[in-house]
Amino acid sequence: MFDIHTHILPGVDDGAESLEEALSMLKALKSRGFNGVFLTPHLNHPTVKTDKEFILHTFEDLRTELEKQLQVYLGSELYLSPNYEEPIPLGDTDLVLVELPTDVYPQYLEETIFDLQLSGYRVILAHVERYRWLAENVPLIEKLRDRNVLFQINLRALVAKHERAIWFKKHNLIDFVSTDCHGLDDLKVLDHGLVHYRELIQRSEELLF
């Protein structure tokens, strides 16, 4: 079982603030049966400023220490904009995790996703339940699915019975369920969440390896 969307790599974005916190988060995931975790710091985010080189160096520096607790892979959560920077794909895969503005439809959506796919990436749209412009736009959802865009949903939205999250679940549109954890508190959701969604999380493994 793997979590593909986390902000555990410490000190690089608005996620874990220290190595201790990162290790506690990995421990919490391990104790619930996770075999590995993808660390996906923000890239190109309009308000959370990050530096790709610093992310890469931090990962190299801390990897051994983190892996004493749990297998970790580097990735990124790329905020898509017309002039996005190159993402860090998830581990050795060709998968990239992307996010988009939540309230207003991004006119550049199809062009940028297509562009990433032309570069050889499979695209995962992060927390699909957040986008107001996508929610019940069935033609757009179908278009994205036809273009093989994968959908990730946040576990906490499912647990909270968030209306849009339930809608995606009901229509079998979920490829990945993740914690999108920014701190240890965000992992409290696992206790309740895994009772109901463990199978759904496990199922996505075949898309990863």
Interface contacts to Fe ion, rule CB under 5 A: 77, 180
**Cβ-based nearer residue to Fe ion, 3 or 180:** 180
Q: Tokens 């530096």 appear where?
A: 51
Closer residue to Fe ion (CB): 29 or 136: 29
28's enclosing H/E stretch is helix 19-31
How far is the C-alpha of 31 from the C-alpha of 21, rounded, in Å? Answer: 15
Of 76 and 112, the one with the shorter C-beta distance to Fe ion is 76
CB of 33 to Fe ion, least distance (A): 22
- Point out the residue whose Cβ comes nearest to Fe ion: 180
Q: Least separation, in Å, of the C-beta of 48 and Fe ion?
A: 9
Distance CA 156, CA 161 (A): 8
Q: Closer to Fe ion at the Cβ: 39 or 66?
A: 39
The answer for residues whose C-beta is within 8 angstroms of residue 169's C-beta and 6 or more apart is 153, 158
CA distance 152 to 173: 9
Least separation in angstroms between CB 138 and Fe ion: 26
User: Could you tell me the smallest distance in angstroms from the CB atom of residue 2 to Fe ion?
Assistant: 16
Q: How far apart are CA 70 and CA 87, in angstroms?
A: 24
